[in-house]
Amino acid sequence: MSHDPDCIFCKIAQGQIPSKKVYEDEEILAFHDIQPWAPVHFLLIPKRHILSLAHVGEADAPLLGKMMSLVPALAKQEGCRPYPEGGFRLVCNTGDDGGQEVQHLHFHVIGGPRPWRKG
């Protein structure tokens, strides 16, 4: 399934629900979290509906590699200080026990001066 009509992230990726975009191309969307934990907090999602990290396979490696390679530049663009004094946190909650709230693969990119509200 490329899109789930009931998935909030699919609706955001298709432009049906507005978001404050950080980055977009044909495969990937990054947008600000609506309940940020830190001064920098955005989500990075594949536009294709993938339930969770537990559902990726070898064929998804190029997409995941592209997503990971975007993180440092987007974190810096959004205000994270450079490594090593600065940096960011990358979080991928997977499944109920992992704290996943939206059943669409997504990475939280979190950074900025500490302390943060969570974590």
Tell me the pTM: 0.94
CA angle 72, 75, 80 (to 5 degrees): 115
Single out the catalytic residue among 41, 104, 106, 108: 106
pLDDT tens digits, one per residue of 7-31: 999 999 999 999 999 999 999 999 9
Is residue 55 within 8 Å of 105, Cβ to Cβ?
A: yes
Structure tokens at 111: 């950074």
Range 2-8 average pLDDT: 95
Q: Is 108 a residue of the active site?
A: no
Q: What is the CATH number of the domain that holds 39?
A: 3.30.428.10
Residue 29 in domain: yes
pLDDT tens digits, one per residue of 91-116: 999 999 999 999 999 999 999 988 88
- How far apart CA 30 and CA 38 sit, in angstroms, is 16
Residue 31 in domain: yes
Question: Which domain covers residue 57, as residue numbers?
Answer: 8-111
Strand partners, 38: none
- How far apart CA 86 and CA 79 sit, in angstroms, is 10
| Side-chain-facing half-sphere of 78: CA atoms under 13 Å | 29
Structure tokens at 49: 């509906």
Residue 117 in domain: no
Per the listing, tokens 């704290």 go with 99
Say how many domains are in the chain.
Answer: 1
Residue 20 in domain: yes
Is residue 4 within 8 Å of 52, Cβ to Cβ?
A: no
